[in-house]
Amino acid sequence: MSNTVELLNKEISQPDLWNTPERAKVVLQEKAKLTSLLKKFDDIISSYNDIVEFETLFSKNQESDKDFDLDILKEAESILEKANTLKTECLFSEKYDSNNCFIDLNSGAGGTESNDWCSMMLRMYIRFAEKLKLSCDIIGVVDGEETGIKSCSIKIEGLNSYAWFKNESGVHRLVRISPFNAAKKRMTSFASAWVYPEINDDNDVEINKQDLRIDTFRASGSGGQHVNTTESAIRITHLPTNIVVQCQNEKSQHRNKETAMKVLKARLYALKLQQKKQQTDQQNTEKGAISWGNQIRSYVMQPYQLVKDLRINYEEYDVKKVLDGNLNNFIFKKLSSDVKQNNE
């Protein structure tokens, strides 16, 4: 990796590079990515060496100390978590992996139970983003009649946001004893996630203003951060595809429109990718029916504990831990599987 950075530095020093802006952009992005990975690797090694040094000095001068041992254990666990994160980041290689991303959540078959499951998924992704030190902003939400949410759109911001979340697209199935069922029956419910990158390059997505219908309305419900009585909320309909996006989380109509346009551009690019994948028969569309046949992961809370990624047959047994945002292993396993398939 260090050798690659040296080669990139040599290329950057060549005056001819700047005659081709696209190539210069790629080289600079690749250098930034590798430099970041190397820094994280050096930090992990430094932290590990510090632990070894402290342990050696302490063992020579004092008897066993439980508090010290616990501190060392916590630091070791922190290093392991950072190492696992770095291991996953080394697999990020697609065009928009470094970009921010949007996630659309929708409840499916199951009514109130599915609405509650949709809100649980929202919490899971917010917690996962927090663990990665990424910011999460709720753009809009439609509440369920009794509890939970029918749908929600969120934006994840920070380096590699799309890479971390892109494989969450699909239908997620929950099996549990329903707290909303008087007979305490075991219920199955579904919710879907659709993840797509924020697009900053206008060359990838062209939007004709004549293809847009823009409506304003009053922000309402718990989804808006600043619910008000002015028509600051924006709804944009892309007429050729019938894609509808809306944003109501800002006080300013202008800022809501700006965010909605970013979401629309990202959705159109995601649609473009889906169509390409369908044409090459690499995979089915990720926005199939939200029911039995299109699942990517199942979460079973009763009669046993199990979270299983059905695409790669990877399982974990601590459901609560996963729902608290510990998705790193699932992300790494899926990315590793994709790399292996691409190399075959």
Instruction: Please check the confidence at residue 285 and state whether its pLDDT lies above 60.
Output: no
* Dist. CA 326–CA 82, nearest whole Å: 13
Q: Read off the pLDDT of each residue in 38-49 and give the average, rounded to a whole number.
A: 86
Q: Read off the pLDDT of each residue in 40-57 and give the average, rounded to a whole number.
A: 83
Q: Read off the pLDDT of each residue in 272-292 and give the average, rounded to a whole number.
A: 60
Q: What is the pLDDT of residues 224-242, one digit of tens each?
A: 444 555 678 899 999 999 9
Name the band, by pLDDT with cuts 50, 70 and 90, for residue 42: confident
The pairing of strands 135-143 and 149-157 is: antiparallel
* Dist. CA 333–CA 335, nearest whole Å: 6
Name the band, by pLDDT with cuts 50, 70 and 90, for residue 118: very high
Residues facing 70 on adjacent strands: none
Which pTM was predicted?
A: 0.77
Cβ-contact 86, 160 below 8 angstroms: no
The per-residue pLDDT for 22 is 75
Q: Read off the pLDDT of each residue in 132-158 and give the average, rounded to a whole number.
A: 92
The enclosing H or E element of 33 equals helix 21-61
Q: What is the CA radius of gyration of the chain?
A: 23
The per-residue pLDDT for 337 is 93
> What proportion of the chain, given as a percentage, has pLDDT over 70?
87
Cβ-contact 191, 114 below 8 angstroms: yes
Compute the C-alpha angle 83/87/90, nearest 5°: 135
Name the band, by pLDDT with cuts 50, 70 and 90, for residue 73: confident
The CA distances from residue 319 to 130, 200, 214, 324, 325, in Å, are 19, 37, 42, 9, 10
The per-residue pLDDT for 201 is 67
The beta strands (E) that lie in the chain are given as: 101-107, 135-143, 149-157, 170-177, 186-197, 212-217, 233-238, 243-247, 295-300, 306-309, 314-316
Q: Read off the pLDDT of each residue in 85-110 and give the average, rounded to a whole number.
A: 89
Q: What is the pLDDT of residues 25-35, one digit of tens each?
A: 777 877 887 88
Instruction: Please check the confidence at residue 85 and state whether its pLDDT lies above 90.
Output: no
Backbone angles phi, psi at 294, to 5 degrees: -125, 35
Cβ-contact 176, 302 below 8 angstroms: yes
Domains of the chain in sequence order: 2-89 (1.20.58.410), 101-344 (3.30.70.1660)
Q: What is the pLDDT of residues 286-329, one digit of tens each?
A: 455 565 557 899 999 998 999 999 999 999 999 999 999 999 99
The CA distances from residue 133 to 85, 130, 166, in Å, are 12, 5, 17
The per-residue pLDDT for 228 is 52
